[in-house]
Amino acid sequence: MIIPSSEKPASPTPSSTGTPTYATASNTYARAQPAQAQPTATTDNTVIMALTSQITQLKKQHRQEVQALRTALEQAHGENPTLRRELTRRGWTGQPPS
């Protein structure tokens, strides 16, 4: 029996081969999955507020740490002349022993 060309499928399809194609299988899988909940504006705002607060706290901590380092550096610079005078009084010339 000869099938007219108008009735022959041009390419394999799920109906002609009995096997679903990749596209058909993936579409079926996608439809079977529950829809993911989209984040709401409230959730976004909460995250933004939390991150903003954390950044503010970190900036404050950074300023405090920098100030403490500057204070320590100023103190060390102030001690240098005193230490040099003490070394000179003890006879240190600044030259390594030979």
What pLDDT does residue 44 have? 87
The CA distance from 43 to 46, in Å, is 5
- Reference 11, options 21, 3, 2, 26; nearest CA is 21
Residue 20's Cβ-count burial label (10 Å; 0-12, 13-18, 19+) is middle
What pLDDT does residue 54 have? 97
Token pair listed for 68: 């403490």
Going 82 to 86 to 91 to 96, the CA torsion angle's sign is negative
What pLDDT does residue 62 have? 98
* Mean pLDDT of successive 10-residue stretches along the chain, which has 98 residues: 55 54 66 64 89 97 98 93 90 76
